[in-house]
């Protein structure tokens, strides 16, 4: 028998338009009704399927790279940034999934919440963008592109949506993950303690570069955000204000030019100077 999570059955919750797994008591992130479920433009999940119904050859954490993490239709960039940061470290997420059985579709995760490790056991049912199998197979080529929420760039990997689902269950529902801070997502996955700093408070930028950020994804995990206090929401030089980024790698050129590689969970790469595929 396949495992069906009695405390978080996405299929039942969506078909009966309850939305208990999606929305919280205080936050209604998704409007579920017969109209929105039939409206192709409405930003709500249209179906729920098991992993083996979505992927032809699914894999779980065979390739768990931070650069593969893509955010979905949920505004949970803080949690996604934490997931990305831990995945950018070798075996950084291995201990969070303590056991799983892909044959029956059961996954056991541990999340650090309110000062202690708690468990979150889920089945492998996931939200999709399109209502019918033949539609999403043609439109989204199956695999990760079919997902409504977070997914991996690797079209066979399932770890990203399953981690997000376990995280949502640990916090009550998907809507409870919206907003938040990068440090919160990182602490919940690592059990560590984070600190926030403003770049304007750094006294010696050279020392900060050499002693701190140079160790990104080695001794330290770094997230970054901008525009929260001064600029509001918008975009400057390709950087979206109010969005959560992760420092993936830093490098100093022979010329002394310093480069910081950031991960944006929307799946976009920088264009222009220092962008992907550019000569610099």
Indicate if 77 belongs to the active site.
Answer: yes
Q: Which long-range contacts (CB under 8 A, 24 or more apart) does 242-247 make?
A: 243/77, 244/77, 244/78, 244/80, 244/81, 244/181, 244/182, 245/81, 246/66, 246/81, 246/84, 246/85, 246/88, 246/182, 246/221, 246/222, 247/213, 247/216, 247/217, 247/222, 247/223
Exactly one of 100, 151, 243, 263 is catalytic; which is it?
A: 243
The separation between CA 26 and the C-alpha centre of its own chain, rounded to angstroms, equals: 22
- Sign of torsion over alpha carbons 30, 164, 245, 278: negative
**Does the annotation mark 151 as catalytic?**
no
Biggest CA-to-CA distance, the chain? 62
Residues paired with 47 in a beta bridge: 128
Q: What are phi and psi of 25, to 5 degrees?
A: -65, -30
Which among 77, 100, 171, 263 is annotated as catalytic? 77
Catalogue the active-site residues. 77, 243
């Amino acid at each position: 028998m396949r495992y069906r999570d009695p405390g978080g059955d996405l299929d039942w919750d969506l078909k009966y338009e309850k939305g208990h797994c999606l929305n919280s008591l205080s936050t209604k992130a998704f409007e579920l009704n017969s109209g929105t479920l039939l409206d192709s433009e409405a930003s709500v999940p249209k179906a729920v399927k098991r992993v083996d119904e979505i992927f032809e050859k699914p894999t779980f954490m065979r390739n768990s790279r931070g650069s593969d993490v893509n955010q979905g239709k949920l505004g949970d960039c803080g949690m996604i940034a934490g997931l990305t940061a831990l995945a950018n470290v070798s075996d950084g997420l291995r201990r969070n999934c303590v056991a799983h059985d892909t044959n029956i579709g059961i996954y056991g995760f541990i999340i650090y919440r309110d000062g202690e490790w708690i468990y979150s056991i889920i089945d492998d049912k996931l939200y999709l963008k399109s209502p019918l199998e033949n539609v999403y197979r043609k439109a989204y080529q199956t695999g990760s592109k079919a997902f409504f929420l977070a997914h991996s760039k690797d079209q066979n990997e399932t770890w990203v949506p399953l981690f997000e689902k376990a995280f949502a269950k640990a916090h009550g529902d998907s809507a409870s993950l919206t907003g938040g801070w990068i440090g919160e997502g990182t602490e919940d996955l690592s059990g560590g303690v984070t600190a926030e700093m403003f770049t304007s408070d750094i006294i010696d930028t050279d020392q900060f570069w050499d002693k701190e950020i140079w160790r990104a994804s080695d001794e330290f995990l770094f997230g970054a955000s901008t525009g929260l206090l001064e600029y509001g929401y918008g975009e400057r030089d390709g950087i979206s204000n109010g969005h959560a980024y992760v420092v993936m790698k830093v490098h100093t050129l022979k010329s002394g030019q310093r480069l910081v590689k950031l991960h944006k969970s929307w799946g976009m790469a920088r264009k222009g100077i220092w962008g992907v595929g550019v000569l610099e």
